[in-house]
Chains A and B, each alone.
Chain A
């Protein structure tokens, strides 16, 4: 369960201060898929960064599995990210010069998974996105859709409880995007994981259980979720 309590993040200082997210609260139950929608600059990315501990709002709490990740020490937050959550980005961020295997292996190395267990896990993740035959190919030789599937393999290899996806299909055509979405939703359903998608795409949003609309740093509407503390 992810509990977001009254978080506020301000960029800049004094006259230049800009409130990116303003007193946002909501709760996401386990094994839920949630879409966060909003125009660019609305604060949806900042919200995602705050929920994953990448960014630190100056006010509020983000409670995941009972602990406030904003109060954890940096090392503990790193550990949290390495073991419990993962990311998918619009621009894939696969390492072009490394093999598919090494790309997927990185989160396992970071999480200190012993070498002996890595091979089997990496291959299982690559098989899940149907890229096992590309194991030894360099990531730069893949097509856009394949790169994003590789990114999904990288995101699921460590069996995270929460996946953050930032415009996962934004750089893909609708057919390829649809395939990528299917892989993503399949994993989440099978594992009972939580998926948080930041997107513009109404169609993608409609596949999610819940939906949060952000406008000017505030929640403008919230559906399918506990509205505790949400401002209308």
Chain B
């Protein structure tokens, strides 16, 4: 019998048992829905992470730290030694006691700068400033961060052209309003003061001083920024001046928790990373950062997919059951077809195709609802999670197709036993009527 004819007969048989076909399909549809949504979420999550990492890091940039050779041993206290991470509390404003991490000294910075293809090494300055203010306003707590051209910012007003002068500052939008400017544009060109205190040392008491900067731009909140958000951005020279003022003379001066290394070409990042690691540093490229985030997303995705798979497994039993009942109900029809010369293989095919149709129907209904629902829900999700114009559910036609094809194949496998039962049916028994 012609395969196309069998296929059409299979479709007709299902049409004759509409309610049963649809209910069985819906069971598999639940699985299709879950799997499609989780795949879309995974895709969206990865794209989102990708966008975050790309707009916050530069592919030419490596983040370098120095780990203890033996991270399990807590280092001994050395009052002025280069090995202790304890002294960080005073000058660096970093993390205080950081187990397992060693400081990066100026020697280390030079060593990094000597590596082939490295164009710049910037230690991570993070001076602890006291406040920010402007004329006629109160003093507000603040933190400053270095401006990095590789971090893409969205501006509410003003711009930087990728470059910030020594006396310029970028304000986060909430600072601009807090400091009494009527709107972000109003702040541009105005002067703000940052107050800092020189750390108390053995030789001198605390000295407070104010530094003035001109507002170059006001950054608005972005769904993609995770670094520097809500902080004030100064260029490297300005921030290192602040750092020197705050930390000079303390034990933590010129000892950094991390440094950023810029290489000449993006494809040299991995080579430089290897060299750095040979020298005892730990280096992370932007690809590594992305990898870490993606691992997390993949775990979440795996859990969701697991639920989808569970739904599919349940629906397999539904298909087996439906098809068994169908074989029982159609015993006479099967007997007749065999008496008319239909081969065992073709009878088996007929029932296999019916199972495939059910899988196709369920897969299409589930995946279709997932796509429609996702498209409708996407703006709401983005609004709820404050993602701006980023969509968290991204449907790729290929993935949706793969889900449907996969479910058709699974349905065919589920239909094997009932199809076998049908094909083995004895036509004489089947046609015996009392």
Q: Could you tell me if B341 and A90 are in contact, using CB atoms closer than 8 angstroms?
A: no
- Residues of A in contact, count (CB < 8 Å): 29
A95's closest neighbor in chain B, by CB?
Answer: B333
- Per the 8 Å Cβ criterion, residues 1-44 of B in contact with A are 1-2, 5, 9, 12, 16
Contact with B along A58-94 (1 / 0, CB 8 A): 0000000000000000110011111100110111010
Q: Could you tell me if B1 and A112 are in contact, using CB atoms closer than 8 angstroms?
A: yes
Give the CA-CA distance A75 to B344 in the complex, in Å. Answer: 8
- The answer to the question of B343 belonging to the interface, with a C-beta cut-off of 8 Å to chain A, is yes
Question: A90: which B residues are within 8 A, CB to CB?
Answer: 433
Candidate in A74, A78, A107 with the most chain B CB atoms within 10 angstroms? A78
Question: B332: which A residues are within 8 A, CB to CB?
Answer: 93
Q: Could you tell me if A79 and B341 are in contact, using CB atoms closer than 8 angstroms?
A: yes
Q: A109-B1, A109-B9 are in contact. Are A74 and B337 (CB under 8 A)?
A: no
A103's closest neighbor in chain B, by CB?
Answer: B336
Give the CA-CA distance A98 to B12 in the complex, in Å. Answer: 8
B344's closest neighbor in chain A, by CB?
Answer: A74
- The answer to the question of B431 belonging to the interface, with a C-beta cut-off of 8 Å to chain A, is yes
Question: A74: which B residues are within 8 A, CB to CB?
Answer: 343-344
Q: Could you tell me if B340 and A81 are in contact, using CB atoms closer than 8 angstroms?
A: yes
Give the CA-CA distance A107 to B337 in the complex, in Å. Answer: 8
Q: Could you tell me if A110 and B1 are in contact, using CB atoms closer than 8 angstroms?
A: yes
Q: Could you tell me if B2 and A106 are in contact, using CB atoms closer than 8 angstroms?
A: no
- The answer to the question of A97 belonging to the interface, with a C-beta cut-off of 8 Å to chain B, is yes
B4's closest neighbor in chain A, by CB?
Answer: A115
Q: A93-B332, A93-B336, A102-B12 are in contact. Are A82 and B427 (CB under 8 A)?
A: no
- The answer to the question of B342 belonging to the interface, with a C-beta cut-off of 8 Å to chain A, is yes
- The answer to the question of A111 belonging to the interface, with a C-beta cut-off of 8 Å to chain B, is yes
Contact of A82 among B12, B16, B340 (CB under 8 A): B340
- The answer to the question of A55 belonging to the interface, with a C-beta cut-off of 8 Å to chain B, is yes
- The answer to the question of A127 belonging to the interface, with a C-beta cut-off of 8 Å to chain B, is no
Nearest chain B CB to A72 CB, angstrom units: 12
Nearest chain B CB to A21 CB, angstrom units: 13
- The answer to the question of A191 belonging to the interface, with a C-beta cut-off of 8 Å to chain B, is no
Nearest chain A CB to B423 CB, angstrom units: 11
Give the CA-CA distance A89 to B430 in the complex, in Å. Answer: 13
- Per the 8 Å Cβ criterion, residues 331-376 of B in contact with A are 332-333, 335-344, 346
Question: B341: which A residues are within 8 A, CB to CB?
Answer: 78-83, 107, 110-111
Question: A231: which B residues are within 8 A, CB to CB?
Answer: none
Question: B12: which A residues are within 8 A, CB to CB?
Answer: 98, 102
Q: Could you tell me if A54 and B427 are in contact, using CB atoms closer than 8 angstroms?
A: yes
Q: Could you tell me if A75 and B427 are in contact, using CB atoms closer than 8 angstroms?
A: no
Give the CA-CA distance A82 to B346 in the complex, in Å. Answer: 13
Q: A109-B1, A109-B9 are in contact. Are A82 and B342 (CB under 8 A)?
A: yes
Give the CA-CA distance A55 to B428 in the complex, in Å. Answer: 7
Give the CA-CA distance A91 to B338 in the complex, in Å. Answer: 17
Nearest chain B CB to A142 CB, angstrom units: 17
Give the CA-CA distance A215 to B341 in the complex, in Å. Answer: 30
Question: B9: which A residues are within 8 A, CB to CB?
Answer: 109
Give the CA-CA distance A54 to B12 in the complex, in Å. Answer: 27
Question: B428: which A residues are within 8 A, CB to CB?
Answer: 49, 54-55
Give the CA-CA distance A82 to B5 in the complex, in Å. Answer: 15
Give the CA-CA distance A75 to B431 in the complex, in Å. Answer: 20
Contact of A106 among B335, B340, B431 (CB under 8 A): B340
Candidate in B338, B339, B342, B431 with the most chain A CB atoms within 10 angstroms? B339
Contact with A along B404-434 (1 / 0, CB 8 A): 0000000000000000000000011001010
Give the CA-CA distance A111 to B2 in the complex, in Å. Answer: 9
Question: B333: which A residues are within 8 A, CB to CB?
Answer: 93, 95
Q: Could you tell me if A110 and B344 are in contact, using CB atoms closer than 8 angstroms?
A: no
Question: B342: which A residues are within 8 A, CB to CB?
Answer: 78, 82, 110
B9's closest neighbor in chain A, by CB?
Answer: A109
Question: A55: which B residues are within 8 A, CB to CB?
Answer: 428
Q: Could you tell me if B339 and A81 are in contact, using CB atoms closer than 8 angstroms?
A: yes
Question: B338: which A residues are within 8 A, CB to CB?
Answer: 54, 78
Q: Could you tell me if A110 and B339 are in contact, using CB atoms closer than 8 angstroms?
A: no
Q: Could you tell me if B344 and A89 are in contact, using CB atoms closer than 8 angstroms?
A: no
Question: A78: which B residues are within 8 A, CB to CB?
Answer: 338, 341-343
Question: B427: which A residues are within 8 A, CB to CB?
Answer: 54
Candidate in B9, B341, B427 with the most chain A CB atoms within 10 angstroms? B341
Candidate in A54, A75, A102 with the most chain B CB atoms within 10 angstroms? A54
- Per the 8 Å Cβ criterion, residues 176-223 of A in contact with B are none
Question: A80: which B residues are within 8 A, CB to CB?
Answer: 341
A85's closest neighbor in chain B, by CB?
Answer: B341
- Per the 8 Å Cβ criterion, residues 103-134 of A in contact with B are 106-107, 109-112, 115
Candidate in B333, B337, B431 with the most chain A CB atoms within 10 angstroms? B431
Would you mind naming 21 contact pairs between A and B with Cβ atoms under 8 Å apart?
A: A52-B339, A54-B427, A74-B344, A75-B343, A78-B342, A80-B341, A81-B340, A87-B339, A93-B333, A93-B335, A93-B336, A93-B431, A95-B333, A98-B12, A98-B16, A109-B5, A109-B9, A110-B337, A110-B342, A110-B346, A111-B341
List residues of B whose CB falls within 8 A of some A CB.
Answer: 1-2, 5, 9, 12, 16, 332-333, 335-344, 346, 427-428, 431, 433
A-B pairs, 10 with minimum CB distance: A82-B341, A81-B341, A109-B5, A97-B16, A78-B343, A78-B341, A93-B336, A110-B342, A91-B433, A107-B340
